[in-house]
């Protein structure tokens, strides 16, 4: 606007200053000229108004052009998006704050009680429910990964009718009509096929169904399960009786091909119970002793104090040997007779100490009578189960270490798949309802001709949570099942405790739960059309209509707890279970008549190179194939073979040599053909030292046909090779007489059966992705071990290994800070064992201890970490390139005796020739390695941009925003714990193969042109409290920083309240001391620690001498990995202690040699010998 | 030297004349006059380039395009397009960086240290060596700049005050690297440019008016060749030489700190700084010879870049190669003597068992065995042998860095995490592309700037010597010199010099 200068008044005295004559003479024009801010000419517009707008319009134009210029650059900026706040805040839901709900995962054998972490209504992470009598809080990897299954974009999500999309209403219209028809005929021609899931509501509904349709028949099928155990115990103790092992009460355990610490789940907390007998705080603590006889190397065999490899088909013979010895010693005539009735050709696995091994083991069992467990693997036939039961009976295990419980499950009413198949083929089944995640078209024994049987059934309704399985693709109706995290349900633990399954989220794809489906079937009313719920109900909130599933479960609950009030129900939902609902103890006694099974067992010839034995095992990752579309499980390495994204045939070193297999295959595995009864399948082969000779282990579940959702899903497609085709109902777990040969050249893909779908021909070598290529420690004392005797002889035996052995002085002098520091000898050690903090936080200093004596190597921590910390999956191609992202990895080493280890060291050339003798009887050691949070962290000093620094409470923290990705920290990390995002794994889908002309390459390599992740669905699983990392940054274990911070905030928030409570009244004026802000002792559990079923991981505050972690650090077994580097790692390890039988060591040079490797008496290290190669391991 | 037998200045030549004994072998042969020197060197720039120049630069430009493509792909997609993985987080990227930095070493050594020690033979090679240094450092700089995961954040390395208020970590050798390399580069450029000023003025003065003249004139900074200017120039040059001398030692020392200050067995050794510096001089001289022998032949610079120069440089290669060999053996000895299992194992894997033993033996042969032929004068005089040995050294020095970086990382502390490293096609083509980039820059340098320092080499002509006895000239003329096309043009009037061709000597 026009501005008129307000000139000050002219002074009346003194000089007068003038600018122009006009001013001096006081001309008006001159005055005007003076007053104006802008003179004529400054604006070219004619009138005043326009002059004003001219200046403004100039500015407008300028700003407009600037804005226009900015338009082009606007795309350089990230588009801004706005979070939508709640307009009506649901109670408790605070963004970023985790809500915990109890639920349970229905599973074969026994449901897994768990606590679900939900954020803003999304389940993101699972942990065990430690209050449940069947759980110690640990959770296996398959259960951990089931949360990803909820968000699996390929899971069943739509109703379909003969492959055509349909709707829920269409299906229920059909069902309402069908059930009237069936009711009229009394259910004739109607069959239901269920899985092994133990759900009281389901059992109740099946009972009602059988009442409503008396002619209907219910069958039960699962590819692997406790069927043999159940059958044997039915014979030996009566219907419904099952054994429940109390490993915590057992001193001596003998495993007959049972992987009870791994795949043979026999109890929700059996791993924890077993490990409780091996915690060994002091060298005087008693330890249990495990003998294992097994065919392939399992994690149970890895823990065993004595292990013998015996082919699965020969287990009955060694069981009979054991039975004979025990029968003779205990005077149990029935047992001796049964043992004698086994047709045996005197099997000997080729060990000179075979006889003495069993004799000593039997003596050991007898000496501990009443405190022993003999456990037969669920893959062993009924006869072996009965024999094991008889041995247990003779040793007085029942009632002391094994509880017999009456499960009361209606075994006799349930048929088998074989029966159903023959009924169907006979034309007696017109309608079949499959309520199961099993996939019989794919996994049923070949001789049952299930696909044909299913084809002969007019109407097949498949209800499954899985992707469109082979079974579902052949079905008339596909009914998408709800995930257990979306439904009301119930289950029982192994020992029977009732647990409620409560929904965490509304069904993502509008599925139907098994209860709802069965409920609709038995209901006399028609199922009404579907009405979508108006708003998301809170799991525990009051919802107008919680749905039919809720009512069904509530009815079961009301029957179980008669007269239960609403409060009792709400408490049940809070706790997740109803206490004291375990199965009642069985009252029946052992019926030795069952032992007659043994005589009926034909003699199985010991496998030979021309007639090999094949063992079928469910996969440690994808089970029987049902988790094939779980990326976490596919990428988790197998605990023993370390293979990812595929399965492989496993064989021993000797057999590999006999078959001329390349032993030291790293990336490329030889392919073998396995032929049984005219059926041939092809598998890449991996050599596993310690496997039984002339035997092949095949893991099943892989090689499912189809692509994408029309098959095993986008994750599972093209992974692995099918072994089910070799399996018959006579040989469901192992088969003999197999012809195995190495392919010398590529072979044409056979018609039909083969799953080498993406190959034009079967190659002689197959690229395999393993996470570990070296299996020896090469004389480095990384995993330290010793026998209990070693420990008793030398309290500091742990520090007499490796580089530490070269140091002088006692343990205290050998610790890193004393032995190696130039500056602070004996720094900061306080009287009570705690240490003066090197860092500024005097309330919290975090540390971790991993007890290698408890760790089985099951990889449950690895998956838990992946779930908690948003760790991306990288795909097979990247794993092959060594770029897997797991923050905690599971190193697995095989160890032979010192002589052969030394021999190996001298010949550690890659591709060296292994001597089968030295390599086929190794022990297996595992070691989880994550960031060790070194106080003097080598990674921190080398980062040029300060992207990795130390926090005052002792964490080595990674600042993703600051990281530019020089990777120097990764190089300088001695533990190689740092992981680099070589690609945008979180953004681009690593599981897509792309092609351009003749080139085919992984999607990641397409860069900005690559596909993003298939759906937004998997993002729902992400933990909002953990940054999702972009490409080009390093990441690593943070000690679950988000949990620490959350606990710290809680401690601060509650400090006043807690202190008031101590004083008895709330006091606003209360002065808080610094100590009051400390997080309570053991107040934090990190994800891996929480998941570990063996309770091998301890985490806590090093400044709190009462904390678990300080107690563990005080253990004499404590050592620092690579302690000589003096990096002062916050994570330390407790050495492995073996408890070998001293008698057996005396009697068997082989066993003596095996345990000698951890022994201080080895002729190295202590003497400071220069033979570094041999310097201990 | 083939002519040696006839050389009257040779000590063993007939006649014990005092003058003969004291006279050194001339640095410029054939009694070339100052004007010849000017014409010869300026002629390279002023005449059309020989066909060979075109034959080389065209593929080089193509390789530069490949390199640009590879780097673009890398930045757009992620470091995963290269071969590194979890134990081997550095692969060819840092290998190539150290390789090129090493090559960039000889230049400043020749220009600074040899200048300060009054090694007059440097005048024939210093310009080309300095240019080579600058181009090599440019190639080297590409790798660390682009190997980082988030290139667009690489400015975090610069101590720029930022809103995050985070400062660099001055404990990190990588940061030292940034400063050492950038300082070295900038000082080298300034030093090189300063040396060019009188020659640029010469070129300016010989040019017809036009863009060319303007450009030379601009960069000649108004040089008139006055006494005062020369005096200032000499002082500045001397000061810069003094400034550069510690840089020669510091750059590769700092680069070696990337490894030596780490704790990785096989890297963590105190011998690295001197060993790296020796290796760099070794590799740098080899590269200078690799470039200059063809240049000498193509442009007919036999009189300026003589067999004496080649002989001297071959001797330096022999010396530094032997130092490097000593370092290799000393590393082994210390690995054993230290008693550290991990240290000794690192070398056992590197030499005896590992997957990369072949690389170690390549390195050892190329760097230690091959240069030993230079003990023999006949070998030093045989240009084919010299070229072959230099090629070996070039390859060997690359292998040395590969062995140090990749084999060490592939077999470090925990065998559970060991993995192999394989370069990807992107990495391979990037590396080949940098050779194209390097050669392209060098060829452009040949095209536009005097490859030999004209002003300086005139200083070693006999005429420049105040005590010069012209009577020697006659005897010097006795030298049977090969005649070049350019020679015949020598006495032509100045205005015809433009037709001095770049053809190879007849």
Write the pLDDT tens digit of every residue in B368-414.
999 999 999 999 999 999 999 999 999 999 999 999 999 899 988 99
Give the mean pLDDT per block of 10 residues along chain A (1177 residues).
Answer: 63 74 75 68 53 66 66 53 74 83 90 91 91 90 92 87 87 89 87 88 89 89 88 88 91 93 89 90 89 92 91 90 90 86 78 88 91 92 91 90 85 81 89 88 88 89 84 88 90 90 86 88 80 51 68 90 88 90 88 85 86 92 90 93 91 87 77 89 89 92 80 85 88 90 79 57 86 81 87 85 76 64 53 60 89 92 94 92 92 72 44 54 90 90 91 90 92 93 91 86 89 81 91 93 92 83 77 85 92 93 89 89 86 92 86 61 31 32
Angle between helices A514-522 and A168-185 (to 10 degrees): 40
Residue B476 touches chain A, beta carbons under 8 Å: no
Residue A828 has a pLDDT of: 56
Interface of A with B in 647-666 (CB under 8 A): 666
* Closest C-alpha among A202, A292, A291 to residue A692: A292
The answer to whether residues A638 and A621 touch, using CB atoms and an 8 Å cutoff, is yes
Under 8 Å between Cβ of B100 and B139: yes
Strands A1034-1035 and A979-980: antiparallel
Q: Round to whole Å and give the CA distance between A526 and A806.
A: 81
- pLDDT at position A907: 42
Dihedral sign for Cα atoms in the order B220, B225, B229, B231: positive
- For CA atoms A842, A844, A846, A849, the dihedral sign is positive
Q: In whole angstroms, give the CA distance from residue A684 to residue A768.
A: 8
Name chain B contacts of A964, Cβ cutoff 8 Å.
148-150, 153-154, 156-157
Contact B78 A1032 (CB under 8 A): yes
| 8 Å CB contact of A1008 and B81 | no
- Report yes or no: A1041 and A953 within 8 Å, Cβ to Cβ: no
Residue B9 has what pLDDT? 47
> CA-CA distance, A1101 to A1097, in Å (whole number)?
14
Residues of A in contact with B344 (CB under 8 A): 1172
More confident residue, B471 or B456: B456
Residue A540 has a pLDDT of 45
**DSSP E strand stretches across A765-872:** 765-767, 769-770, 785-787, 846-851
Q: What is the pLDDT of residue B473?
A: 52
Pick from A635, A620, A1140, A568: nearest CA to A874: A635
Question: What DSSP line would sit under A522-557, residue for residue?
Answer: H-SSPPPPP---SSPPPTTS--S---HHHHHHHHHH
Nearest CA in chain B to A962: B156
Mean pLDDT of B94-113: 88
Interface of B with A in 314-343 (CB under 8 A): 339-342
A944: which chain B residues are within 8 Å (Cβ-Cβ)? 157, 168-169, 172, 174-175, 177-178
Backbone angles phi, psi at A902, to 5 degrees: -65, -40
CA of residue A367 relative to chain centroid, distance: 38
Average pLDDT over residues B89-113: 89
**Hey, which residues 413-442 in chain A have their CB within 8 Å of chain B?**
none
Confirm if A123 and A105 have CB atoms less than 8 A apart: no
C-alpha–C-alpha distance, residues A300 and B145, integer Å: 50
Span B248-252, average pLDDT:
87
Which pLDDT score, from 0 to 100, does residue A918 have? Answer: 60
Looking at beta carbons, which residues of chain A come within 8 Å of B333?
none
Residues A902 and A1173: beta-carbon distance below 8 Å: yes
- Give the gyration radius of chain B's Cα atoms: 24
What's the rounded mean pLDDT across residues B293-315? 88
Within 8 A of A888 by CB-CB distance, chain B residues are none
pLDDT at B439 over 90: yes
3 state SS for B446-473? HHHCCCCCHHHHHCCCHHHCCCCCHHHH
- Contact call for A944 and B262, based on CB within 8 A: no
Q: DSSP class of residue B121? A: G
Determine which of B73, B75, B86 to mutate to test the interface with A (most A C-beta atoms within 10 Å).
B86
Provide the mean pLDDT of chain B.
85
| Chain B interface, best mutation among A859, A965, A999, by max B CB count within 10 A | A965
Using an 8 Å Cβ cutoff, are A827 and A805 in contact? no
Sheet (strand A99-105) strand order? A99-105, A112-119, A122-128
B-contacting residues in A 9-48 (Cβ below 8 Å): none
Closest alpha carbon to A410 in A230, A644, A158, A226: A230
* Helix, coil or strand: residue B275: helix
| Cβ contact, residue pair A1007, B73, below 8 Å | yes
DSSP string across A272-340:
HHHHHTT--SSTTS---EEEEEESS--HHHHH-SEEEE--GGGHHHHHHHHHHHHHHHHT-HHHHHHHH
Rounded to 5 degrees, what angle do the CA atoms A733, A734, A740 make? Answer: 140
**pLDDT given for residue B11 in this prediction:** 44
Residue A660 and residue A671: Cα distance in Å, rounded? 11
Check CB contact under 8 Å for B149 and A1032: yes
Q: Does the beta carbon of A1032 lie under 8 angstroms from any beta carbon of chain B?
A: yes
Specify whether the CB–CB gap between A212 and A188 falls below 8 A: no
pTM summary value: 0.87
Contact A717, A631 (CB under 8 A): no
* Residues of chain B positioned with their CB less than 8 A from the CB of A887: none
Q: How many of the other CB atoms lie within 10 Å of CB of A538?
A: 17
Which residues lie closer than 8 Å to B352 by C-beta, 6 or more apart?
Answer: A909
Tell me whether A984 touches chain B (CB under 8 Å).
yes
> What is the number of CB-based contacts under 8 A between chain A and chain B?
216
Contact of B175 with B168, CB cutoff 8 Å: yes
* Closest partner CB to A982 (pick from B80, B171, B174): B80
Q: What are the distances in angstroms from CA A82 to CA A79, A86, A186, A572, A987?
A: 10, 12, 59, 39, 20
DSSP B319-386: HHHHHHHHHHHHHHHHHHHT--HHHHHHHHIIIIISTTHHHHHHHHIIIIIGGGGGGSHHHHH-HHHH
Alpha-helical segments (H) within A777-922: 788-793, 811-814, 816-819, 860-868, 875-880, 898-906, 916-919
Q: Where are the alpha helices (DSSP H) in B9-91?
A: 18-22, 34-46, 51-77
Q: Which of B83, B156, B417 sits opposite A945 (nearest CB)?
A: B156
Identify the helix (H) or strand (E) that includes residue A165. Answer: strand A164-165
Both structure tokens of A64: 């407009």
Q: Measured between beta carbons, which residues in chain A are less than 8 angstroms from residue B73?
A: 1007
Task: Report how far residue B414's alpha carbon sits from residue B419's, in angstroms, rounded to the nearest whole number.
Answer: 11
> Helices B173-206 & B126-147, crossing angle to 10 degrees?
140
Residues 6 or more apart whose Cβ sits within 8 Å of residue B280? B101, B102, B103, B105, B106, B251, B252
3-class SS at A713?
A: helix
**CA dist A829 to A814, A824, A839, A1102, A1112, Å?**
14, 11, 14, 12, 17
CA distance A485 to chain B (A): 36
Q: Which residues on chain B are in Cβ contact (under 8 Å) with A881?
A: 80, 83, 85
Interface predicted TM-score (ipTM) of this complex, two decimals = 0.88
Question: Is the pLDDT confidence value at B345 over 90?
Answer: no
CB distance A206 to A522 below 8 Å: no
Question: How far is the C-alpha of A1132 from the C-alpha of A1109, rounded, in Å?
Answer: 10
Chain centre distance of CA A545:
35
CB contacts of B346 in chain A (<8 Å) are none
Q: How confident is the model at residue B327 (pLDDT cuts 50, 70, 90)?
A: very high
């Amino acid at each position: 606007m026009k501005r008129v200068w307000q000139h000050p008044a002219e002074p009346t005295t003194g000089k007068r200053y003038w600018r122009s004559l006009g001013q001096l003479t006081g001309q008006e024009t001159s005055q005007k000229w003076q007053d104006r801010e802008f003179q004529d000419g400054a604006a070219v517009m004619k009138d005043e108004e326009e002059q004003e707008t001219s200046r403004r319009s100039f500015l407008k134009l300028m700003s407009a052009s600037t804005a226009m210029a900015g338009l082009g650059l606007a795309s350089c900026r990230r588009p801004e998006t706005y979070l939508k706040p709640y307009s009506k805040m649901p109670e408790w839901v605070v963004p970023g704050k985790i809500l915990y709900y109890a639920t349970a995962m229905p599973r074969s054998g026994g449901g897994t009680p768990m606590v679900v972490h939900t954020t803003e209504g999304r389940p993101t992470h699972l942990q065990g429910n430690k209050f449940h009598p069947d759980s110690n809080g640990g959770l296996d990897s398959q259960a951990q990964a089931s949360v990803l299954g909820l968000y699996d974009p390929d899971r069943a999500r739509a109703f379909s009718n003969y492959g055509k999309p349909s709707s829920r209403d269409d299906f229920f219209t059909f069902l309402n009509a069908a059930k009237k028809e069936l009711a009229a005929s009394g259910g004739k021609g109607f069959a239901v096929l269920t899985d092994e899931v133990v759900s009281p509501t389901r059992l109740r509904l099946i009972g009602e169904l059988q009442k409503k349709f008396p002619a209907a028949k219910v069958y039960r099928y699962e590819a692997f399960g406790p069927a043999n155990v159940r059958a044997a115990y039915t014979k030996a103790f009566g219907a419904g009786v099952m054994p429940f092992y109390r490993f915590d009460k057992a001193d001596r355990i003998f495993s007959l091909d049972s992987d009870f610490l791994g795949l043979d789940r026999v109890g929700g907390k059996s791993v924890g119970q077993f490990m409780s007998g091996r915690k060994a705080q002091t060298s005087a603590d008693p330890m249990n002793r495990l003998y294992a006889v097994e065919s392939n190397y399992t994690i149970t065999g890895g823990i065993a104090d004595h292990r013998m490899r015996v082919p699965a088909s020969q287990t009955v013979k060694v069981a009979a040997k054991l039975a004979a010895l025990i029968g003779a010693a205990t005077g149990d005539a029935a047992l001796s007779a049964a043992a004698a009735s086994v047709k045996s050709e005197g099997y000997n696995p080729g060990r000179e100490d075979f006889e003495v091994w069993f004799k000593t083991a039997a003596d050991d069992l007898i000496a501990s009578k009443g405190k022993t467990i003999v456990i037969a693997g669920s893959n062993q036939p009924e006869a072996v189960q009965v024999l094991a039961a008889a041995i247990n009976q003779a040793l007085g295990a029942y009632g002391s270490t094994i509880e017999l419980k009456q499960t009361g499950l209606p075994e006799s009413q349930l048929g088998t798949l074989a029966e159903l198949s023959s009924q169907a083929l006979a034309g007696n089944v017109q309608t079949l309802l499959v309520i199961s995640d099993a996939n019989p078209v794919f996994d049923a024994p070949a001789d049952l001709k299930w696909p044909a049987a299913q084809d002969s059934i007019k109407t097949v309704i498949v209800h499954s949570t899985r992707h469109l399985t082979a079974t579902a693709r052949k079905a008339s109706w596909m009914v998408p099942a709800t995930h257990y995290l979306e439904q009301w349900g119930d289950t029982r633990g192994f020992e029977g405790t009732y647990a409620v399954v409560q929904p965490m989220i509304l069904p993502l794809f509008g599925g139907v739960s098994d209860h709802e489906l069965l409920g609709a079937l038995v209901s006399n009313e028609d199922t009404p059309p579907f009405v979508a719920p108006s708003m998301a109900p809170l799991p525990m909130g009051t919802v107008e209509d919680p749905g039919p599933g809720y009512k069904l479960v509530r009815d079961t609950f009301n029957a179980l707890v008669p007269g239960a009030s609403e409060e009792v129900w709400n408490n049940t939902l809070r706790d997740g279970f109803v206490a004291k609902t375990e199965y009642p103890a069985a009252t029946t006694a052992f019926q030795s008549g069952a032992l007659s099974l043994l005589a009926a067992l034909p003699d199985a010839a010991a496998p030979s190179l021309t007639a090999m034995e094949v063992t079928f095992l469910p996969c440690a990752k994808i089970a029987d194939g049902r988790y094939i579309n779980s990326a976490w499980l596919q990428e988790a390495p197998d605990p023993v073979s370390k293979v990812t994204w595929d399965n492989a045939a496993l064989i021993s070193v000797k057999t590999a040599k006999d078959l001329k297999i390349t032993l030291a295959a790293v990336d490329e595995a030889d392919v073998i053909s396995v032929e049984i009864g005219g059926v041939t399948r092809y598998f890449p082969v991996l050599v596993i030292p310690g496997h039984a000779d002339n035997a092949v282990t095949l893991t099943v579940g892989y090689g499912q046909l189809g692509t994408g959702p029309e098959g095993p899903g986008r994750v599972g497609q093209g992974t692995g090779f099918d072994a089910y085709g070799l399996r018959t109902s006579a040989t469901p777990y192992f088969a003999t007489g197999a012809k195995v040969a190495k392919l010398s050249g590529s072979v044409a893909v056979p018609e039909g059966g083969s799953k080498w779908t993406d190959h034009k021909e079967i190659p002689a070598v197959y690229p395999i992705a393993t996470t570990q290529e070296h299996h020896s420690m090469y004389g480095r004392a990384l995993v330290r071990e010793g026998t209990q005797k070693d420990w008793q002889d030398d309290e500091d035996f742990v520090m007499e290994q490796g580089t530490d052995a070269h140091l002088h002085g006692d343990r205290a002098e050998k610790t890193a800070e004393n032995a190696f520091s130039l500056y602070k000898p004996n720094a900061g050690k306080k009287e009570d064992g705690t240490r003066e903090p090197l860092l500024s936080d005097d309330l919290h200093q975090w540390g971790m201890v991993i007890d290698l004596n408890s760790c089985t190597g099951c990889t449950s921590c690895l998956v838990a970490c992946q779930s908690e910390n948003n760790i991306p999956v990288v795909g097979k191609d990247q794993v092959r390139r060594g770029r897997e992202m797991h923050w905690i990895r599971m190193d697995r080493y095989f160890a032979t005796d010192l002589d052969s280890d030394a021999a190996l060291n001298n010949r550690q050339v890659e591709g060296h020739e292994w001597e089968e003798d030295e390599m086929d009887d190794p022990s297996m050691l595992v070691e989880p390695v994550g960031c060790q949070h070194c106080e003097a962290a080598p990674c921190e000093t080398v980062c040029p941009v300060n992207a990795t620094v130390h926090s005052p409470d002792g964490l080595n923290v990674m600042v993703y925003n600051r990281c530019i990705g020089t990777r120097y920290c990764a190089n300088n990390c001695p533990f190689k714990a740092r992981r680099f995002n070589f690609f945008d794994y979180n953004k681009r889908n690593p599981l897509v193969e792309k092609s351009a002309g003749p080139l085919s390459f992984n999607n990641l390599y397409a860069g900005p042109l690559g596909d993003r992740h298939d759906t937004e669905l998997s993002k729902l699983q992400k933990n909002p409290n953990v940054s999702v990392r972009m490409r080009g940054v390093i990441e690593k274990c943070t000690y679950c920083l988000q949990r620490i911070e959350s606990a710290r905030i809680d401690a601060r928030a509650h400090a006043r309240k807690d202190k008031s409570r101590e004083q008895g009244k709330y006091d606003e004026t209360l002065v808080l001391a610094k100590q009051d802000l400390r997080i309570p002792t053991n107040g934090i559990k990190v994800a891996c620690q929480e998941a570990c079923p063996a309770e091998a991981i301890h985490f806590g505050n090093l400044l709190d001498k009462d904390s678990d972690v300080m107690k563990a650090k005080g253990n004499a077994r404590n050592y620092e990995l690579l302690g000589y580097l003096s990096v002062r790692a916050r994570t330390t390890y407790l050495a492995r202690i073996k408890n070998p039988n001293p008698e057996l060591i005396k009697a068997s040079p082989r066993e003596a040699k095996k345990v000698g490797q951890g022994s201080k008496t080895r002729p190295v290290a202590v003497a400071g010998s220069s033979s570094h190669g041999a310097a201990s391991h | 030297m083939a002519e040696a037998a006839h050389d009257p200045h040779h000590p063993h030549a007939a006649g014990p004349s005092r003058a003969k004994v004291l006279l050194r072998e001339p640095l410029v042969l054939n009694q070339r006059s100052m004007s010849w020197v000017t014409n010869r060197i300026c002629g390279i720039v002023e005449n059309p380039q020989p066909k060979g120049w075109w034959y080389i630069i065209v593929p080089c430009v193509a390789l530069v395009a490949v390199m640009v493509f590879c780097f673009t792909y890398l930045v757009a997609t992620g470091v995963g397009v290269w071969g590194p993985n979890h134990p081997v987080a550095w692969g060819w990227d840092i290998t190539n960086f150290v390789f090129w930095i090493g090559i960039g070493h000889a230049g400043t050594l020749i220009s600074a240290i040899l200048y300060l020690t009054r090694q007059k033979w440097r005048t024939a090679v210093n310009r080309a060596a300095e240019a080579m240094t600058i181009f090599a450092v440019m190639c080297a700089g590409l790798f660390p700049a682009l190997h980082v995961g988030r290139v667009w954040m690489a400015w975090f390395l610069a101590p720029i005050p930022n809103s995050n208020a985070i400062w660099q970590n001055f404990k990190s050798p990588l940061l030292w690297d940034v400063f050492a390399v950038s300082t070295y580069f900038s000082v080298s450029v300034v030093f090189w440019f300063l040396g060019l000023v009188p020659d640029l003025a010469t070129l300016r003065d010989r040019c017809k008016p036009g863009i060319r003249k303007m450009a030379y004139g601009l960069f000649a900074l108004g040089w008139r060749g006055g006494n005062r200017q020369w005096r200032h120039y000499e002082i500045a040059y001397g000061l810069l030489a003094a400034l550069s001398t510690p840089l020669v030692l510091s750059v590769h020392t700092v680069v070696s700190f990337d490894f030596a200050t780490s704790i990785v067995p096989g890297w963590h050794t105190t011998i690295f700084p001197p060993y790296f510096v020796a290796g760099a001089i070794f590799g740098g001289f080899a590269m200078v010879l690799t470039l200059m022998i063809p240049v000498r032949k193509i442009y007919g610079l036999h009189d300026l870049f003589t067999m004496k120069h080649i002989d001297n440089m071959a001797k330096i290669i022999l010396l530094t190669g032997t130092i490097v060999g000593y370092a290799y053996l000393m590393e082994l000895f210390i690995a054993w003597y230290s008693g550290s299992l991990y240290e000794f194992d690192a070398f056992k894997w590197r030499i005896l068992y590992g997957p990369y033993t072949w690389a170690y033996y390549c390195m050892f042969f190329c760097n230690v065995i091959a240069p030993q032929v230079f003990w023999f004068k006949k070998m030093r005089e045989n240009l084919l042998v010299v070229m072959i040995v230099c090629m070996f050294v070039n390859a060997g020095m690359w292998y040395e860095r590969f062995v140090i970086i990749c084999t060490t990382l592939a077999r470090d502390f925990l065998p559970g995490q060991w993995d192999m490293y394989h370069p990807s096609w992107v990495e391979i083509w990037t590396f080949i592309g940098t050779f194209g980039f390097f050669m392209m820059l060098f060829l452009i340098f040949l095209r536009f700037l005097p490859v030999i320092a004209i002003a300086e080499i005139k200083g070693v002509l006999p005429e420049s010597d105040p005590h010069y006895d012209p009577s020697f000239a006659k005897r010097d003329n006795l030298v049977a010199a090969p005649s070049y096309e350019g020679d015949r043009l020598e006495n032509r009037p100045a205005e015809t010099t433009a037709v001095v061709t770049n053809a190879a000597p007849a």
